[in-house]
Amino acid sequence: MNLDDFSDLIERPDGGIRRDAEERRERLGVAVGALGRLDELGEWLAAAQHSVPVRAVERPRVVLFAGDHGVASLGVSGREAVGAYELVRAVLEGASPVSVLARRMNVPVRVVDAGVDCDPELLPAEVVRRRVRRGTGRIDVEDAMTADEAIAAMELGIAIADEEADSGTDLVVLGDLSVGGTTPASTLVAALCGTDASVVTGRGGAGIDDLAWMRKCAAIRDALRRARPVLGDQLALLATVGGPDLAATTGFLLQSAVRRTPVILDGVVSAACALVAQRAAFRSPDWWLAGQLTGEPAQAKALDRMALNPLLDHGVRVGEGTGALLALPLVQAAAALAAELPERPAPEPEPEPEPTTPEQQDETEAEPKG
- Structural domain that includes position 159: 58-329
pLDDT number for residue 347:
65
In this predicted structure, what is the pLDDT of residue 29?
81
Q: Does residue 149 register a pLDDT over 60?
A: yes
37 part of a folded domain: no
Q: Look at residue 356 and tell me if it is in a domain.
A: no
Provide the pLDDT confidence category of residue 242 given band limits of 50, 70 and 90. very high
Binning pLDDT at 50, 70 and 90, where does residue 367 land?
Answer: low
C-alpha to C-alpha distance for 108 and 102, rounded to whole angstroms: 7
Percent of the chain with pLDDT over 90: 80
Interior angle at CA 79, CA 241 and CA 174, nearest 5:
60
Any domain includes 284? yes
Does residue 234 lie within any of the structural domains? yes
Residue 32 falls within a domain, yes or no?
no
What's the structural domain count of the chain?
A: 1
**Which of 43, 164, 296, 320 is the catalytic position?**
320
pTM attached to this predicted model? 0.91
Q: Where are the beta strands (DSSP E) in the chain?
A: 60-68, 109-115, 171-179, 263-265, 288-290
- Above 90 in pLDDT, residue 78? no
Which pLDDT score is estimated for 207? 74
For residue 95, report the phi and psi dihedrals to the nearest 5 degrees.
-110, 10
Report the b/e string of 217-250 with b at 16+ CB within 10 A: bebbbbbbebbeebeeebbbbbbbbbbbbbbbbb
pLDDT reading at 248 higher than 60: yes
Per-residue confidence at 369, pLDDT binned at 50, 70, 90?
low
Query: What's the pLDDT tens digit per position in 168-189?
Result: 999 999 999 999 999 999 999 9
- The strand order across the sheet containing 171-179 reads 109-115, 60-68, 171-179, 263-265, 288-290
- pLDDT of 53-72, one tens digit each? 999 999 999 999 999 999 99
pLDDT tens digits, 268-321: 999 999 999 999 999 999 999 999 999 999 999 999 999 999 999 988 888 899
25 in any annotated domain: no
pLDDT for residue 6 is more than 90: yes
Any domain includes 3 = no
* 77-91, 129-143, 181-195, 241-255, range with the lowest pLDDT: 77-91
Q: What is the mean pLDDT of residues 226-246?
A: 97
Q: 120 in a domain, yes or no?
A: yes
- Is 348 one of the annotated active-site residues of the chain? no
- Any idea what the CATH number is for the domain that residue 270 is in? 3.40.50.10210
* Least confident among 22-26, 239-243, 290-294: 22-26
